[in-house]
Structure 1
Amino acid sequence: MKQEEVMRIQMEVEAKDSETRRLQEEVENARRKEEELKAQQLANATKGHLKEENTHDEDDELVNGDVSRDLDTDENIIDPINERRTLAERNENLQGQLLTLKQDLAQLRDETKETA
């Protein structure tokens, strides 16, 4: 009876060991596949960058690699430089505002309440 119990436990342990090894192999295979995919993605990305870099090979004969091409422009882009005002323009505007405020103040001033 005791012998049968020991044998049963031993068989369970062996089954668990076998299952553990199988799962470890599965994990290892999954890791290998993941590494292979990462390497393949890196290689593909590198190839893509190399292709982009080599698109100007026909221009290599030009002196210093200078390339004359028209740039694509997007007319919807707002250029902040066009909206800039010079310091003189801002000062003129502020001087005008100051003058207007002085005139408003002069009109609103109640001369009867001035202190001596």
Structure 2
Amino acid sequence: MKVFTLVVELGRRSGDGLPDGATGAGLVCYAPGQDEAEAVRETVAILKQAEMAPLDVTGYGTLEERLEEGHEIDDDERALMDRALEENAVIIAQMTPYFADEASQDDPRH
């Protein structure tokens, strides 16, 4: 098993736990799998069980692949990757809620 770094784009769904007014969110996840496709499938399934609405997943590869691409990976991030592997669990490392631009909502051209 390897751990893959995934970025998941979420839409809204009743009971998703996102802040009021958010239009969705982006999640950085570390997910174990035999390959990236398995890691993506497991992550999407878990998010759906948590009443979230995954729309898109972008894979950034394993630790080794990311290092080869020149990504800087700090000790905290490595620890989360290790935890995902040890616990065979998807770890959500970061959540960024998205909010619609209030100015464009008031503008009738949008």
- TM-score, normalised by the number of residues in structure 1: 0.16
Structure with more strand by fraction? 2
Specify the structure having the higher radius of gyration (Cα).
Answer: 1
